[in-house]
Amino acid sequence: MRATRIGAAGLVAALLGTLVTTTPANAAPDAASTTTTTNATCTTDPAMPKRQFRAMWISSVVNIDWPSKASQTSPDQVAAQQAEYRELLDLAQRLHHNAVVVQVRPTADALWPSPYEPWSEYLTGIRGQDPGWDPLAFLVDEAHRRNLEFHAWFNPYRVSMPAPGGAGADLAQLAPDHPARQHPDWTFAYPPAGVAGSRLYYNPGIPEVREFVQTAMMDAVNRYDIDGVHFDDYFYPYPSGTYQVPDDATFAAHNRGFTDRADWRRDNINLLVQEMSGKIKAAKPWVKFGVSPFGIWRNKAADPLGSDTTGSQSYDIISADTRKWIKQEWIDYVVPQLYWYIGQYPAADYARLVPWWAETVRGTHVQLYIGQADYKSGDPAYGSYWQNPSELSDHLTLNRAYPEVQGNVHFSAVQVRANRLGATDIYAAEHYSRPALVPAMPHLPARPLLFPVVTKAARQADGVRLTWRQPADGVGPLGTATSYAIYRFDGSTLPGKCGTADAAHLVGTVRATPGGAQSWVDTSAAPGRRYTYQLTALDRSGNESPTSPPAFVLR
Tens-place pLDDT, residues 363-381 = 999 999 999 999 999 999 9
Alpha-carbon gap, residue 415 to 257, rounded angstroms? 46
Q: Which of 169, 70, 75, 155 is closest to 117 using CA atoms?
A: 155
Same domain, 416 and 466: no
Task: Count CA atoms closer than 13 A to 209's CA, side-chain side.
Answer: 24
Convert 62-86 to b/e letters by CB count within 10 Å (16 or more is b). Answer: ebbbbbeeebbeeeebbebbbebbe
pLDDT at 18 over 50: no
Alpha-carbon gap, residue 336 to 232, rounded angstroms? 9
Same domain, 420 and 463: no
Report pLDDT for 474: 64
Same domain, 405 and 542: no
Convert 142-174 to b/e letters by CB count within 10 Å (16 or more is b). Answer: bbbebbbbbbbbbbbbbbbbbbeebbbbebeeb
Amino acid, single-letter form, for residue 459? R
Same domain, 403 and 277: yes
244 or 6, greater pLDDT: 244
Q: Are 58 and 97 in contact (CB under 8 A)?
A: no
Alpha-carbon gap, residue 179 to 500, rounded angstroms? 52
Report pLDDT for 296: 98
**Angle at the Cα of 338 from the Cα atoms of 337 and 341, rounded to 5 degrees:** 150
The whole-chain average pLDDT of the chain stands at 92
Of the listed ranges 81-95, 111-125, 153-167, 477-491, the one predicted with least confidence: 477-491
Q: Which of 131, 58, 132, 135 is closest to 97 using CA atoms?
A: 58
SS3 at position 87: helix
Alpha-carbon gap, residue 171 to 184, rounded angstroms? 8
pLDDT tens per residue across span 259-317: 999 999 999 999 999 999 999 999 999 999 999 999 999 999 999 999 999 999 999 99
Which CATH number covers residue 502?
2.60.40.10
What kind and span of H or E run contains 519?
A: strand 517-522
Given 432, 465, 498, the domain boundary residue is 432
Task: Count CA atoms closer than 13 A to 76's CA, side-chain side.
Answer: 5
pLDDT tens per residue across span 530-552: 999 999 999 999 999 999 999 99
Amino acid, single-letter form, for residue 57? W
Report pLDDT for 28: 32
Same domain, 271 and 410: yes
pLDDT at 25 over 60: no
Under the banding of pLDDT at 50, 70 and 90, the label for residue 3 is: very low
Query: How far, CA to CA in Å, does 254 sit from each of 208, 251, 511, 540?
Result: 11, 5, 48, 40
Report pLDDT for 205: 98
SS3 at position 1: coil
Under the banding of pLDDT at 50, 70 and 90, the label for residue 514 is: confident
Alpha-carbon gap, residue 61 to 111, rounded angstroms? 11
Same domain, 407 and 479: no
Alpha-carbon gap, residue 538 to 470, rounded angstroms? 11
pLDDT at 344 over 90: no
Q: State the CB neighbour count (10 A cutoff) for residue 462.
A: 10
- Does residue 445 lie in a domain region? no
Q: Which of 205, 186, 215 is closest to 276 using CA atoms?
A: 215
Alpha-helix runs per DSSP H in 286-421: 314-317, 322-327, 350-361, 391-399, 413-418
Q: Are strands 53-58 and 99-105 parallel, antiparallel or unpaired?
A: parallel
- Does residue 198 lie in a domain region? no
Same domain, 254 and 296: yes
Same domain, 217 and 311: yes
Alpha-carbon gap, residue 209 to 215, rounded angstroms? 10
- Does residue 155 lie in a domain region? yes
Under the banding of pLDDT at 50, 70 and 90, the label for residue 494 is: confident
Report pLDDT for 478: 72
Same domain, 423 and 389: yes
Under the banding of pLDDT at 50, 70 and 90, the label for residue 405 is: very high
Alpha-carbon gap, residue 502 to 162, rounded angstroms? 48
SS3 at position 282: helix
Report pLDDT for 37: 34
pLDDT at 476 over 90: no
Report pLDDT for 239: 97
- Does residue 151 lie in a domain region? yes
Sheet of strand 517-522: strand arrangement: 453-460, 463-469, 517-522
Same domain, 263 and 156: yes
Average pLDDT over residues 122-137: 98
Which domain covers residue 345, as residue numbers? 54-161+205-432
Of the listed ranges 18-22, 158-162, 425-429, the one predicted with least confidence: 18-22
Number of domains in the chain: 2
pLDDT at 19 over 80: no
Q: Are 396 and 406 in contact (CB under 8 A)?
A: no
Given 372, 403, 432, the domain boundary residue is 432
- Does residue 46 lie in a domain region? no
- Does residue 68 lie in a domain region? yes
Under the banding of pLDDT at 50, 70 and 90, the label for residue 4 is: very low
pLDDT at 137 over 70: yes
What is the length of the chain? 555
pLDDT at 466 over 50: yes
Alpha-carbon gap, residue 252 to 256, rounded angstroms? 9
Q: How far apart are the first and last CA of the chain?
A: 34
Alpha-helix runs per DSSP H in 25-108: 31-35, 77-94
Report pLDDT for 113: 98
- In eight-state DSSP terms, residue 527 is T
| 241 contact partners, CB below 8 Å, separation of at least 6 | 191
Alpha-carbon gap, residue 231 to 336, rounded angstroms? 11
Same domain, 251 and 342: yes
- Does residue 327 lie in a domain region? yes
pLDDT tens per residue across span 188-222: 999 999 999 999 999 999 999 999 999 999 999 99
- Does residue 306 lie in a domain region? yes
pLDDT at 12 over 90: no
Same domain, 328 and 375: yes
pLDDT at 22 over 60: no
